[in-house]
């Protein structure tokens, strides 16, 4: 098997660090790995496998000789650098919003729409974290029964905002414990002991950008005919996104059949024994790869409707892991080349 030169762009960020961790134990044919980051971090030394890597500045010239680059450096960096990397023969998998809704570039979850990689033009987009875990769970339902409508409410961890948000939550908890005024800067309100129905900016239609990401990405990845609405909420949880999902199916179902469908679905683990307090938990999901589903129950208020609870690690399957899985699919399909 050919060996490839990989790059991780934004290597020192939360998601970039997870990318490096996942690649370290991956079976991908990595001949060489290059860690890239902002100029201020160039020269930083990190350990990876049995090597000491020196972080280099992410410039267009840094992509000379790179076969595959996975980006978690923000939309601005992706828009500037990914086309330059492609010019140099590098295939890019980007974790930002930059290319998600661009019709020229596929938006991919390997368990859901891997065939979208065929005919790529050098840039592949990684979906939003909350969309990824939801669609991994919805895909087998849509394949068997057809989905008419989805109502999703998310309960998202602060790690999705970044390291500063995690620190602010920790600082607010300490301040509360000592009777001090909690510091508030990352979010518009205190996040500790609170719930904020506000992720990203509000749009003219009253929804947030995060909510509309889920709607639009579902249409591009799974099926534009699915009717969908979303409410996204930030919670005082360090890591692991949770979602309450209500699905109206086109055809009748039996709950036992749905449970078996989830048990057989790639990337899904069923935790559904409420009598023994077994159901997916963000705390337990943190640091793991699967999408966990539980609290399966029939919604008696609508025909062929189903409720379930869905949890996953937003830094892994919601970001870093999915990008690595995309590169694995590219290698498997012999698509590590720029047309």
Q: How far apart are CA 312 and CA 283, in angstroms?
A: 10
In a domain, 241, yes or no: yes
Q: Please confirm, yes or no, whether 142 is among the known catalytic residues.
A: no
Task: Answer yes or no: do 135 and 64 share one domain.
Answer: no
Task: Answer yes or no: do 236 and 162 share one domain.
Answer: yes
> What's this model's pTM, rounded to 2 decimal places?
0.96
Cβ proximity of 135 and 218 under 8 Å: yes
Count of the separate structural domains present in the chain: 2
| Residue 4 phi, psi dihedral angles, 5° rounding | -120, 155
Distance of CA 311 to the CA centre of its chain: 12
Cβ-count burial of 328 within 10 angstroms (0-12 exposed, 13-18 middle, 19+ buried)?
middle
Mean pLDDT for the chain?
97
Q: How far apart are CA 138 and CA 205, in angstroms?
A: 26
- Looking up residue 282, the CATH number of its domain turns out to be 3.30.360.10
Range of the domain at 297: 131-314
In a domain, 337, yes or no: no
Q: What is the pLDDT of residues 177-211, one digit of tens each?
A: 999 999 999 999 999 999 999 999 999 999 999 99
Return the pLDDT at 2: 83
**Active-site residue (options: 120, 129, 142, 310):** 129
Return the pLDDT at 337: 87
Q: Which helix (H) or strand (E) holds 229?
A: strand 227-234
Cβ-count burial of 238 within 10 angstroms (0-12 exposed, 13-18 middle, 19+ buried)?
middle
Task: Answer yes or no: do 66 and 167 share one domain.
Answer: no
Residue 156: pLDDT over 90: yes
Task: Answer yes or no: do 163 and 123 share one domain.
Answer: no
Task: Answer yes or no: do 191 and 150 share one domain.
Answer: yes
| Residue 153 phi, psi dihedral angles, 5° rounding | -120, 130
Q: Please confirm, yes or no, whether 129 is among the known catalytic residues.
A: yes
């Amino acid at each position: 098997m050919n060996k490839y030169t990989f790059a991780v762009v934004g290597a020192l960020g939360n998601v970039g660090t997870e990318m490096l961790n996942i690649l370290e134990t991956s079976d991908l044919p990595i001949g060489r790995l290059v860690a890239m980051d902002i100029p201020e971090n160039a020269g930083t030394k990190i350990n990876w496998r049995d090597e000491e890597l020196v972080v280099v500045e992410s410039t267009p010239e840094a992509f000379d000789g790179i076969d595959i680059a996975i980006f978690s450096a923000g939309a601005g960096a992706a828009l500037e650098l990914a086309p330059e990397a492609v010019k140099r023969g590098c295939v890019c998998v980007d974790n930002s919003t930059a290319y998600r809704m661009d019709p020229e570039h596929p938006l991919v979850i390997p368990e859901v729409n891997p065939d979208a990689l065929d005919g790529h033009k050098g840039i592949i987009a990684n979906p939003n974290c909350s969309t990824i875990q939801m669609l991994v769970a919805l895909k087998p339902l849509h394949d068997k029964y057809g989905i008419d409508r989805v109502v999703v409410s998310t309960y998202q961890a602060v790690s999705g905002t970044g390291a500063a948000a995690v620190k602010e939550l920790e600082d607010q908890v300490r301040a509360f414990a000592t009777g001090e005024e909690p510091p508030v800067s990352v979010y518009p309100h205190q996040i500790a002991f609170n719930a904020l129905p506000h992720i990203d900016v509000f749009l003219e239609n009253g929804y947030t950008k995060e909510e509309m990401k889920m709607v639009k990405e579902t249409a591009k990845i799974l099926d534009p005919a699915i009717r969908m609405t979303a409410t996204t909420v930030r919670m005082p949880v360090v890591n692991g996104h949770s979602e309450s999902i209500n699905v109206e199916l086109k055809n009748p179902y039996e709950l036992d059949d749905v449970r078996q469908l989830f048990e057989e679905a790639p990337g899904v683990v069923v935790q559904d024994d409420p009598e023994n307090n077994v159901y997916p938990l963000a705390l337990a999901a943190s640091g793991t790869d699967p999408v966990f589903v539980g609290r399966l129950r029939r919604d008696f208020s609508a025909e062929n409707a189903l409720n379930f609870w869905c949890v996953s690690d937003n830094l892994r399957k919601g970001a870093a892991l999915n990008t690595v899985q995309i590169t694995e699919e590219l290698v498997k399909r012999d698509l590590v080349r720029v047309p």
